[in-house]
Amino acid sequence: MEILDGKKAAQAIKDELKMEVAQLAVEGKKIPHLAAILVGNNGASETYVAAKVKACDEVGFKSTLVRFEADIPSVKLLEKVQELNNDPDVDGILVQLPLPKHIRESDVIDAIDPDKDVDGFHPVNIGKMLQGLPSFVPATPHGIMLLLEHFKVETKGKHAVVVGRSNIVGRPMSILLSSNSNPGNCTVTICHSHTKNLKELCLQADIIVAALGKPEFVTADMVKDGAVVVDVGITRVEDSSRKTGFKLKGDVHFESVAPKCSWITPVPGGVGPMTIAALMKNTFVSCKLKN
Ligand code: NDP
């Protein structure tokens, strides 16, 4: 069993970006600028946004963090998105999800200029991705593809089972894995909470992507020998022995599943860092395309 080390692969991507940004600076060209919007004070969202801002610092991007109270009227948030759309210095805009209940997430996603939609959630980018056209690909599935590419995991002709069909992870993941590319060219089965024979389907999988948000859901009896297992899940589980009061759990029962795998991602240190690396890559591309 080998570890799909997301920290290592993400570091390699960030190191390359750092060199390219340094080159832009030498040439007097524009440095990429990511603007992040955080609404409210959800602990996990705070952590994710802080990690994204830190990654910008590491690679030499400019970043702006815009914070709003949880009760901000939707219209005010949309005004801010418009302002960032119109700001020529801003290359990428991300609105950290989830948003408070009174704000319709799709309204906010639709308001972002598709050319600055570095999270890749805008319908224009999703549509282009479906057609195999150049687009901003949602950061988590994009990061997973980069991870498979980094470790040269063979995907051609494999049967991939994606558990979860969300717009930000499961669905785009299924599209990318089935696309005519490398990595890609898998035969994909996508599962959800109404899938009847999930265990049997997982047992047929050469590659499992677990993205359902249920800690340690995928157990050894669901995984065939030699499978590649990608664990997207991050759930905060209470743990009074830790200073934070919680620990992070993936969707895969790592201890029992890992010995059966050819490759497996750890949690933390697998998909999480790759999501951020993919976001950095998207922001860099956005800046280059515009300048
Ligand atoms: P969602 O809650 O939006 O989607 C979960 C999906 O899992 C749904 O499609 C749901 O089915 C399906 N599901 C739920 N229970 C079952 C079950 N028992 N059997 C089969 N399918 C099931 O979650 P997200 O896609 O946003 O996130 C999934 C996980 O990934 C979460 O833990 C999240 O924190 C993590 N995540 C990690 C990221 C990273 O960078 N590492 C980035 C984004 C997310 P149905 O559609 O029928 O409800």
pLDDT tens profile 97-109:
999 999 999 999 9
Q: What is the pLDDT of residues 70-125, one digit of tens each?
A: 999 999 999 999 999 999 999 999 999 999 999 999 999 999 999 999 999 999 99
Confidence bin at 128 (pLDDT 50/70/90):
very high
152 & 258 share domain: yes
The values of phi and psi at residue 180, to 5°, are -80, 75
CA of 213 to the centre of ligand 1 (A): 4
Q: What is the pLDDT of residues 151-187, one digit of tens each?
A: 999 999 999 999 999 999 999 999 999 999 999 999 9
Task: Specify the 3-state DSSP secondary structure of 177.
Answer: helix
Rounded Cα–Cα distance for residues 269 and 239 (Å): 19
147 & 252 share domain: yes
- Catalytic residue numbers read 52, 96, 119
Range of the domain at 177: 139-271
Q: Which of 192, 198, 247, 265 to mutate to test the pocket of ligand 1 (most atoms within 8 A of CB)?
A: 192
156 & 253 share domain: yes
Ligand 1 pocket (Cβ < 6 Å) reads 140, 163-166, 168-170, 191-195, 198, 211-214, 232-235, 271-272, 275
**Residue 164, domain CATH:** 3.40.50.720
Take atom 41 of ligand 1 and give the residue whose Cα is closest. Answer: 272
Which atom of ligand 1 is least distant from the CA of 169? 25
What is the arithmetic mean of pLDDT over 54-77? 98
For residue 7, is it within any domain? no
Q: Residue 291: pLDDT above 90?
A: no
200 & 151 share domain: yes
CA of 170 to the centre of ligand 1 (A): 7
**Residue 96, domain CATH:** 3.40.50.10860
Which atom of ligand 1 is least distant from the CA of 250? 32
What is the arithmetic mean of pLDDT over 202-223? 98
Number of domains in the chain: 2
Report the percent of the chain where pLDDT is more than 90: 99
146 & 236 share domain: yes
The values of phi and psi at residue 47, to 5°, are -65, -45
For residue 11, is it within any domain? no
> Going along the chain, which residue ranges are E strands?
2-3, 33-39, 62-68, 92-95, 159-163, 187-191, 207-210, 228-231, 235-238, 246-249, 263-264
246 & 144 share domain: yes
Is 246 in contact with 234 (CB distance < 8 Å)?
Answer: no
158 & 214 share domain: yes
